[in-house]
Structure 1
Amino acid sequence: MNAARLGKKRGEQLSQVLMGLILILFAFCCLFPMYLVLINSFATEASILKNGYQLIPEQFSLEAYKSIFYAGSPTLKSYGITILITVVGTAIAVVITYMCGFSLANENLKYRNGFSLFFFITTVFNSGLVPWYLICRVLHLYNNIWALIIPSLIFTPFNMFLTRNFIKGVPSSLMDSARIDGAGELTIAFRIYFPICSPVIATITLFYALGYWNNWFNAIMLLDSSELYPLQMILFKIQSDLSMLKDLTNVGLSNTVPTESFKMASAIVTIGPIVLLYPFLQRYFTEGLIIGAVKG
C-alpha cells in the first residue's frame, strides 16, 4: 500500500514538473518575439539590414523613437485622441451591450427569442461598406470626433450573447426576490447583477478597448482633418513618409532612414498600454469567457 502511494505521489510530482516545463516553454515562445521587437526597436537601420533581427543589436540608436516623437510631432496628440475614444467608446458600448444582454436573459421579456434571432442574423449578413458610409454621412458622423466613436459603438452580437449567457447562469430566484423587495429593473440590473457579472464585463471591456485602440479604418473613411487622426493612423502616415523618403534617397543614404526599426518602435508604442492593462483583467477575462461561452 505504501509503495502504491509512493508511486502515485511520484507520478503526480512528475506530471507537475512536466506541466511546469510546458508552461515555461509556452511563456518563452510568447515572450521571445516581444523581446526581439523591443530590443531591435533600439537598433540602427544599418545594423538590422546587415545582420537582421538580433538578440543583442550590433549598434544601438534612438532614431526610430525620434521619428515618432520628434519636435512638433502629432503623436502625443493622437495618443490623447486614441485614449479618449477608447475610454468613452468602450464605456458606452459596454453599458449598451450589458443592458441588451440583461434584457434578453430576462424570461419575462416577450419575443426575446425573436430579438436574439435578429441579432444573430447580423453576424451572418452584412449590409456592406457603401450603406455604412452613407448612413455615417447622413448622421453627420464625418470629420469630427464622433466619427471615431459612434460607428464602432454598436455592440457586436458575440459580446452580447456572451453577456446574455453569463446572466442566464445566475439563479433567477435572485431577480425574483429583488422584485419582491420592490427593486426596479434598473436597480436589479446595475446594483445587483452588474457586480455579479464583473468577469464577463471585464471580458467585453477588453474586447471593445482593443477594437477602439487598434481602429484606423474609421479615420481613413470618415476623417479629412489630420488634427483628429488617432494613433494608428498617425503611425501609418509616418511609416509611409519614411518609406517614401527611403525610396527617394540614393543607395548610400538609404540606410539612415529607420524604416525597419520604426516598425519595431511603432509596435512597442501601440501595444504598450494594452500590455499594461491586460494583467489587471486577466483573471476576470478568463473566467468570463469560459462561463459565458458554456452556459445558456
Structure 2
Amino acid sequence: MVVQTATPGARPPVRGTRRNATGVPRRQAVRPHWSRMLIHLLLALCAVAFVAPLLMVLSASFSSENAINRHGYSFLPRQFTTFAYRYVIGDSSQLVQAYGVSIVVTVVGTLVSLLVMSMLAYTLSRREFALRRSIGFYLLFAMLFSGGLVPSYILITQYLHLQDTLFALILPYLVSPWFVVILRTYFMSLPNDIMDAARIDGAGEFRTFFRIVLPLSGPAMATVGLFTALTYWNDWWLGLLYIDNDKLAPVQLLLYRIISNIDFAASNQTANHLVGVPVQTVRMAIAVLAIGPIIIAFGFVQRFFVRGITIGGLKD
C-alpha cells in the first residue's frame, strides 16, 4: 500500500480542473489570455473611432468640392487636388508670419505659465505657509467666478496698454487656477524626507524647488504644459479682441478670418469675386493646418502625458 504524502505549502487539487504540463490549471491559464485580448480589441476600436474623423478630414481636404457634394466624405481622397490648400495659403508670407506669432506665443506663454503656476503651487503645498488657506480660497473663488469680458478688456487696453502686443495674447492665460490645484496636489504627494534632507544640507527654498521638486515632477509638468500649450495654440478670441495689426495676428485668427470670408461668400450671392470657392474642402484644409503642429508636439510629450494622467491612481 502506497501512502501519498502532501508537500508542505502545496494547495489541494481543485475538483473539475485539469492541469497542463506546467502544473497550471487550464481554466486559470486561458481566462487571462482571453480577457487581455478583449481589452486590446476594445482599445483598438476606441483608437479607430478617434483616428477615423481625422483621416476623413485629411481626405476631404485633398478632394474636389464636386466629389464631396456627390459622394460625401470618405477615407480616401476623391478626385485628388490641392486647390483648397493653395486657396488657404494664398500669400504664403502671411501664413508663415502667423505661424511664427503662434509659435512664439505658445512657447513663451507655456514656459512662463509653467514657471508661475508651479511656484505658486509649491508655495501652497507647504503646510507651514501661513497664508496657504487664504490664497487657496482665492484660487477656488477665481476658478468658479471670473471678472467678465468688459473688466478684462478695460484692464488690458486702458490700464496695462497691451493692445497690439504679444503680451495681450500671453497674459490672460498665464495662470489657470485648475492647473495650480493639480500641481499643488502632486507636490503634496512628494516625499517630505527628500526636501528635509536638502534643507539640512543648506539648500534654500528656491534651490529645493528647482533642483529637487521640478525634476521629480516631470509627468505632472508635462501634462499641465501640454494643456497650456493647447490653450495658447487654439486661441483666436484674444487676437480678435486685442490685435488690430495684421503682422501680430496668430494663425488661428488668420484661419478664422478666412472661414468668415468663405461663409460670407456662401451666403451672399453678390460677392462675385468669391464665387466658386470650395467651401467644404477649404474648411477641412484649415482644420488640418490648425491641428497639425500641435499633434506633432503631442508626440514628444506623450510618454510624460500618460504617466501624468495616471499618477493620481497609482501608489507605491
TM category, shorter? over 0.9
The residue number in structure 1 matching 2:124 is 104
Q: How many residues align?
A: 294
2:164·2:244 contact (CA, 8 Å) conserved in 1?
yes
What is residue 200 of structure 2 aligned with on the other side?
Answer: 180
Following TM superposition, by how much is the alpha carbon of 1:248 offset from its aligned partner in structure 2, in angstroms? 4.8
Aligned residue for 1:92, secondary structure, equals: helix
Q: Is the aligned partner of 1:84 residue 2:95?
A: no
1:51 corresponding residue in structure 2: 71
SS at match of 2:73: coil
Matched, 1:3 2:18: yes
> Are the counterparts in 1 of residues 121 and 187 from structure 2 also a CA contact under 8 Å?
yes
CA 1:121–1:57 in 2, change beyond 3 Å: closer, same or farther? same
Question: Which of these residues, 208, 221, 231, is aligned with residue 241 of structure 2?
Answer: 221
Alpha-carbon contact 1:162-1:292 (below 8 Å) kept: no
> Could you list the runs of 5+ residues in structure 2 that have no partner in the other structure?
1-12, 20-24
Larger Rg: 2
2:56/2:74 contact within 8 Å kept: yes
Q: How far did residue 254 of structure 1 move?
A: 8.1
Q: Segments of 4+ in structure 1 off by > 6 A?
A: 252-255
Say whether residues 1:258 and 2:278 are aligned partners: yes
Distance apart, 1:111 and its partner CA: 2.1
Question: 2:256 corresponds to which residue?
Answer: 236
Shift of residue 293 of structure 1? 7.9
* 1:292 CA drift (Å): 5.0
2:161 counterpart of 1:140: yes
Question: In the alignment, is the contact (CA less than 8 A) between 1:82 and 1:230 conserved in 2?
Answer: yes
- Report what 1:113 is aligned to: 133
Within-5 A mapping of 1:166-205: 166-205=186-225
Q: Look up the equivalent residue of 2:82 and give its one-letter code.
A: L
Structure (1 or 2) with the greater helix fraction: 1
Corresponding residue SS for 1:149: helix
Q: Percent of pairs identical after alignment? A: 33
Please list the CA deviations of residues 32-63 of structure 1 after superposition, one character each: whole Å capped at 9, or x if unmatched.
Answer: 11110111110111111222112333311111
**How far apart are residue 113 of structure 1 and its match?**
1.6
SS in 1 for 2:18: helix
Superposed CA RMSD in Å reads: 2.2
Consecutive unaligned residues of structure 1, counting only runs of 5 or more, are none
Q: 1:225 to 1:294 in 2, by over 3 A?
A: farther
Calculate the TM-score normalised by the size of structure 2: 0.87
